[in-house]
Structure 1
Amino acid sequence: MNEHIIAFILGIVEGLTEFLPISSTGHMILVGSLLGFEGQKANTFEVIIQLGSMLAILVLYWKRYLSLLNFSTIGKSEKKLDVIHIILGVIPAAFVGLVLHDFIKSQLFSPKVVVVSLIAGAILMIFAEKKHRNFTSNSVDELSYKQAFTIGLFQCLAVIPGFSRAGSTMSGGLLAGANHKTAAEFSFLIALPIMVGATGLDFIKSIDFLHTSDIPMFSIGFITAFIVAMLVAIVFLKLIEKIGLTVFAYYRIVLAALFIIFVIL
């Protein structure tokens, strides 16, 4: 298959899955395997198109990120999301990811780990839907520091390939008392700094594998992922209160079965 078509397909897959609780890693491995696009070039390509998804979040929330620079609101009694919330939501996973980065990349990026993570993440999401407490936060501005840190702790699960950063953080948000939309929006907001760190580290390690001849292919994937991720994020926030996480949990179980059939066997 033409590399430009592969780039377009994988850009769509990345954009569709990065911010949904269904594991972008699992989808990229499965689709890459089906397309026969694997190896170091594929790994580098995935790093590049993740940057497209990151840019989508930056464009959607640039005003919110800019408001976080107003340090005068920190610690005030009025309800307002501030930079401390973001830091508390990011630090746990950033620390775990930094310490275990090489181990994760060398030992955990395997189809079997992804299958187990897909199913485990699905169970967590179903549990969160059934056991979440009465909502105490109906917007990100109503989140407490404790809730932000709790969500950050759940984000640590996302360092395991296939677990899904969105799935773990949204489950943590529900269990911490945030409603679906609030959990999803905070998940988006803490995605950018954590992805900048993780993707930046991968980019540095992949830079020797970048070639000018790959620019057209990488550009197609980047732009496609950017556009699709932005559309998905907008639509997802409008629908999540109605559909919840359970439907995504069942989808993950189906995806795990497909993984076993097409990748493992």
Structure 2
Amino acid sequence: MRYAFTLIAAGPAHAQGTAPSLPAYSASQLHCSRWAESSRSEIETATDRKSSQAAAGREGRWSFRARDTTGGVALEGWYDSLAVWRRAEGVELAPDTDGVIGGRYRGRLGIRGAYAAATRPFVPDELAEVAELGGALDDFFPLLPPTGLAPDASWRGGETEIRRLADTVVAGRRMLRFGADSRRERNQTVPRGDTVPIPIRQTITERGEFTWDPSAGLANRTRDIVVETSIPAAGRVRQPVRSRVTQHIELARLAGSACR
């Protein structure tokens, strides 16, 4: 499945703006908008005795309705089309997605990009085994800096750093470009029905970019995410397990309106 992404062909701006710019989300940018999303993952898992490789993917088109609310945007999104697959050990699974298409994701998007989910669609078990779709909207939109950034300036907050890159020009219009990097470490303990708890350590590293239209908001986004997980031998886990997931995600705004 292929989509004609908009705003892909772009070159460096001949005259880069120098004033700090402060992007913010609003309902006028997102209401009736349509988006194409593509995700590809490579999965490596290893123990002391063996290793395995797998791959997974997702292609979807989103539609949104939005209205302004206190401190942010009340957002409703849904998949108009969706295909997911997972391939491991020569076997490919591509479950039917009709049970999710049209199902509503509702929540509040802050003007700086923090999303609080209120409603998620039901995801059938056979689909949940292949793709994590319940939280598909949780980090769909990138975080935005709380302060204006001049070109080459950056802002750091918590685990995230946002940099303003060189502007670009698309169809004669100046577009702002930002880089967004983060590194997070997570430690949790999972009982797994065993009297011996199983500690899990996870490191998530992300490098991404997004393009912002000063008049229309977010135009496109790319993300490269690496998730490394380590599980020591404990309880029913007889051997240490290590996994590495490398994921590439592309998001692009499409022409046309989702409101008919």
TM-score by length of structure 1 reads: 0.27
Larger-Rg structure = 2
Which one has the bigger strand percentage?
2
Which protein, 1 or 2, shows the higher relative CO under an 8 Å CA cutoff with sep ≥ 6? 1
